C-alpha cells in the first residue's frame, strides 16, 4: 500500500468535502496538497481495485484528535500508472460543499489575546489604488491582518467583529455598472455568505450606520483598530472609544500558532513550490541565463494555479549567490558553478519559503562540495534538534558553531579556536543572517509578543557590514507546537564582505585570504526548508530535492541518466 497527500477540489478549483458520498474523480499529474477536514490534514491510501476496475481510496484524518472518516472515492487514471506516481491531485467532477477559511476561529483567538469580553474589532482591507501619476492600478495584495479574520482576497472590503456576540460582519463594495463593464462583477452578498465564514455580509455604504448603532448600545466599550489612520470618517465623533494600540499585538500573538487549516494551506504552497524547484532542476540543461530558470519556476507555479509569488525570486549564479537578496536574475550561466535558487509561491495568501543551491553541471566541484557539506550539516543538526521547548536562538548558535568548525577544517578560518572566532564575531562574515523566521501569511511572518530569534531592532541594522552583534535577548521564546518556521543556514564567500572584515585586524587574523580566494567561485550556499513544530518534534513541509537526489535530476535532464518521466510542468 502506498500513501499520498491529496487535495480534493471541484472543477472550479475550490476545496470540497463530501463525506459519505461516492463521486467519480480524475487523477491529474500535479503536486501533492492536503485536504483540510474539520481542520485536519489527510492521507489517502490506494488499495484494492473498485468494482469497475478503478482503485478505491480511503481518506483519513492525520490529526490525533480528529475522527477518522472514510470516503469511498473511485480513482480513474488518465493513462497514468498509479504505481509510478509520487503524488496525486484529485478533482471532483461534481460540485461540493466549500471548506471555508477558519475566520471565526481566528477571531476568537484574537479576542482571547485582547483579554476583553466586550468591544468591536474593525479591520480595513486593502483598497484599490493607482500608481503615482498613472491610471494603472497597483497590483492588489490583501492586507494580511484583514485576511486573517475574513479569508477575503478582493479589494475595497472591511469587517467588524463583535467580541461579545462573536458576530463577524463583512462589508463589500456595492456593484458599480461601469466597473462591472470594465472589470467584471465583484462577489455578491450571497456568494460571500456561501464562500466565507462570516455571519453577515453588507455593502460598505451600510458600515457607518452599523457602527453608530453598535456604539449607541455599547457606549463604554472600545472599538479596536489596527492603526489610527484606519478609522473610517464615520467614527470621528466617537474617537474617545477608539483603541489603536492593543489589536495588532493581539493579532500577532494569535498568528504565531497556526491552525490545522492554515497548515494545510502552507502544505499546498510548499508542494507547488517544491515541484517548481524540481522542474527548474530538470530544465537546467537548456538554460543559458538566470532569467530562464526564473521563467521555469514562475511557469510551473502559474500552471498549478499559484499565480502569486511569496517574494521576488532569487536566482543567483556564481558569485551572485553571495548576495543574500540578489534579484537581478539576468546574468549568463556560462562559466558558473552553482545557482542559489530562493523562490516560492503563495497559496491562498499563505507563503512557502524554499532555497536550494545546486551545481549547473549536476556534479559539485571539490570546493562547492565542501561548502555544501558544511551547510547541510548546519541544517541537519538544527532540524534534528527542533522540537517544542527549544529556544530558536540556541538553534541559530548551533548552526553558527557547525559553520565555524567546518570553515576551520577547510582552512578558510585559522589561528583560533571556535570559541575565539565566535567571540570575535568573525563567523558573521560567512553566515551573516539569522537561522530562520516564522512563516505564514507573510514570508517573514509576525513574531508575537516575544521575537523568535533576536530582540526587535531597526531593519537597517541587518544591512550593516560587519553586522552588529545580536542585541540582548531578554525574551527567550521557546518553540511551540503549531509554529511554522524556516531553517535556512548558509555560507557565503563575498568579495566585498571579505574586504570589509579583512580591513579589521580583529577579524583579519582569523582569515586565510589565499584559501578564501579559491572559494570565491562558489559564491554562496543556502539550503532552506519550512518546518512545522509538532508535539513530538517537527515535520518538514518542504519536499524539494536536495543533495544527491537534486543532482541526479540535473544529470538526467542533461541526458546523463534515465529520466523518470515525471518532470513535466503540468
**Strands laid side by side in the 355-359 sheet:** 314-317, 338-342, 355-359
Regarding beta strands 529-534 and 242-243, do their DSSP bridges make them parallel or antiparallel, or are they unpaired?
unpaired
Q: What is the mean pLDDT of residues 421-440?
A: 97
Q: What pLDDT score does 50 carry?
A: 37
- Whole-angstrom distance, CA of residue 438 vs CA of residue 421: 29
Query: Considering the chain, what percentage of its residues have pLDDT values greater than 70?
Result: 76
Query: Considering the chain, what percentage of its residues have pLDDT values greater than 90?
Result: 72
What is the pLDDT confidence band of residue 167, given thresholds at 50, 70 and 90? very high
Cβ contact 18:29 at 8 Å: no
Q: What pLDDT score does 474 carry?
A: 54
Q: What pLDDT score does 48 carry?
A: 33
- Asked whether residue 392 carries a pLDDT value surpassing 60, the answer given is yes
Regarding beta strands 89-92 and 8-9, do their DSSP bridges make them parallel or antiparallel, or are they unpaired?
parallel
Q: Any residues with CB less than 8 A from the CB of 290 and at least 6 apart, and which?
A: 315, 316, 317, 320, 328, 329, 330, 331, 332, 333, 339
Cβ contact 359:349 at 8 Å: no
Nearest Cα to Cα of residue 34 among 92, 90, 104: 90
Per-residue model confidence as pLDDT tens digits over 57-67:
333 333 322 22
H helix and E strand count, the chain: 15, 25
Q: Any residues with CB less than 8 A from the CB of 158 and at least 6 apart, and which?
A: 122, 123, 124, 125, 146, 170, 171, 204, 207, 232
Place of cell 478505491: 56
Per-residue model confidence as pLDDT tens digits over 454-506:
533 333 344 566 666 665 555 578 999 999 999 999 999 999 999 999 999 99
pTM given for the model: 0.83
Cβ contact 40:2 at 8 Å: no
Q: What pLDDT score does 440 carry?
A: 98
Q: What pLDDT score does 22 carry?
A: 35
Least confident of 40-49, 406-415, 520-529, 551-560: 40-49
Q: Which domains does the chain have, with CATH numbers?
A: 2-98 (no CATH), 103-255 (3.40.350.10), 259-557 (3.90.230.10)
Q: What is the mean pLDDT of residues 84-104?
A: 59
Would you give the DSSP letter of residue 519? Answer: H
Q: What pLDDT score does 325 carry?
A: 96
Amino acid at each position: 500500500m502506498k500513501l499520498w497527500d491529496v487535495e480534493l477540489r471541484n472543477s472550479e478549483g475550490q476545496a470540497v468535502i463530501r463525506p459519505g458520498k461516492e463521486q467519480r474523480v480524475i487523477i491529474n499529474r500535479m503536486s501533492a496538497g492536503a485536504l483540510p477536514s474539520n481542520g485536519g490534514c489527510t492521507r489517502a491510501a490506494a488499495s484494492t481495485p473498485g468494482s469497475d476496475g478503478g482503485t478505491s481510496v480511503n481518506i483519513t484524518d492525520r490529526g490525533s484528535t480528529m475522527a477518522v472518516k472514510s470516503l469511498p472515492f473511485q480513482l480513474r487514471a488518465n493513462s497514468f500508472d498509479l504505481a509510478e506516481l509520487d503524488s496525486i491531485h484529485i478533482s471532483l467532477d461534481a460540485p461540493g460543499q466549500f471548506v471555508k477559511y477558519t475566520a471565526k476561529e481566528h477571531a476568537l483567538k484574537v479576542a482571547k489575546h485582547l483579554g476583553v469580553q466586550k468591544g468591536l474589532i474593525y479591520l480595513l482591507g486593502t483598497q484599490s489604488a493607482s500608481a503615482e501619476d498613472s491610471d494603472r492600478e497597483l497590483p492588489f495584495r490583501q492586507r494580511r491582518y484583514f485576511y486573517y479574520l475574513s479569508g477575503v482576497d478582493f479589494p475595497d472590503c472591511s469587517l467588524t467583529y463583535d467580541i461579545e456576540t462573536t458576530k463577524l460582519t463583512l462589508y463589500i463594495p456595492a456593484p458599480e455598472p461601469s466597473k462591472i463593464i470594465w472589470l467584471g462583477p465583484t462577489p455578491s452578498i450571497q456568494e460571500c455568505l456561501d464562500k466565507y465564514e462570516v455571519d453577515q455580509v453588507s455593502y460598505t455604504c451600510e458600515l457607518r450606520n452599523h457602527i453608530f448603532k453598535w456604539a449607541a448600545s455599547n457606549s463604554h466599550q472600545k472599538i479596536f483598530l489596527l492603526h489610527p489612520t484606519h478609522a473610517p470618517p464615520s467614527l470621528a465623533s466617537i474617537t474617545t472609544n477608539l483603541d489603536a494600540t492593543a489589536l495588532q499585538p493581539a493579532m500577532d500573538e494569535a498568528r504565531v500558532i497556526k491552525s490545522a487549516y492554515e497548515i494545510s494551506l502552507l502544505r499546498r504552497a510548499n508542494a507547488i513550490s517544491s515541484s517548481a524547484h524540481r522542474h527548474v532542476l530538470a530544465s537546467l540543461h537548456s538554460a543559458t541565463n538566470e532569467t530562464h530558470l526564473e521563467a521555469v519556476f514562475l511557469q510551473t507555479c502559474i500552471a498549478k494555479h499559484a499565480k502569486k509569488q511569496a517574494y521576488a525570486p532569487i536566482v543567483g549564479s556564481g558569485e551572485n549567490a553571495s548576495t543574500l537578496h540578489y534579484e537581478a536574475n539576468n546574468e549568463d550561466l556560462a562559466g558558473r558553478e552553482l545557482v542559489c535558487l530562493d523562490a516560492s509561491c503563495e497559496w491562498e495568501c499563505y507563503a512557502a519559503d524554499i532555497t536550494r543551491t545546486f551545481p549547473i553541471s549536476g556534479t559539485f566541484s571539490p570546493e562547492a562540495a565542501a561548502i555544501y557539506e558544511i551547510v547541510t550539516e548546519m541544517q541537519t543538526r538544527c532540524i534534528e534538534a527542533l522540537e517544542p521547548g527549544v529556544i530558536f536562538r540556541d538553534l541559530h548558535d548551533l548552526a553558527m558553531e557547525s559553520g565555524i568548525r567546518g570553515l576551520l577544517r577547510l582552512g578558510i578560518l585559522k589561528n583560533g579556536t571556535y570559541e575565539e572566532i565566535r567571540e570575535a564575531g568573525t563567523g558573521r562574515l560567512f553566515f551573516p543572517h539569522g537561522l530562520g523566521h516564522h512563516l505564514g501569511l507573510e514570508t517573514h511572518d509576525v513574531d508575537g509578543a516575544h521575537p523568535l530569534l533576536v530582540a526587535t531592532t531597526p531593519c537597517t541594522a541587518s544591512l550593516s557590514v560587519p553586522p552588529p552583534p545580536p542585541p540582548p535577548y531578554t525574551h527567550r521564546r521557546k518553540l511551540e507546537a503549531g509554529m511554522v518556521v524556516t531553517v535556512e543556514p548558509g555560507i557565503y564567500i563575498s568579495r566585498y564582505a571579505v574586504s570589509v572584515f579583512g580591513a579589521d585586524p580583529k577579524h583579519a587574523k582569523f582569515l586565510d585570504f589565499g584559501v578564501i580566494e579559491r572559494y570565491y567561485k562558489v559564491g554562496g550556499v543556502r539550503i532552506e526548508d519550512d518546518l512545522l513544530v509538532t508535539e513530538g518534534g517537527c515535520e518538514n513541509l518542504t519536499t524539494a530535492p536536495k543533495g544527491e537526489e537534486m543532482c541526479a535530476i540535473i544529470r538526467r535532464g542533461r541526458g546523463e541518466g534515465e529520466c523518470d518521466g515525471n518532470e513535466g510542468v503540468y
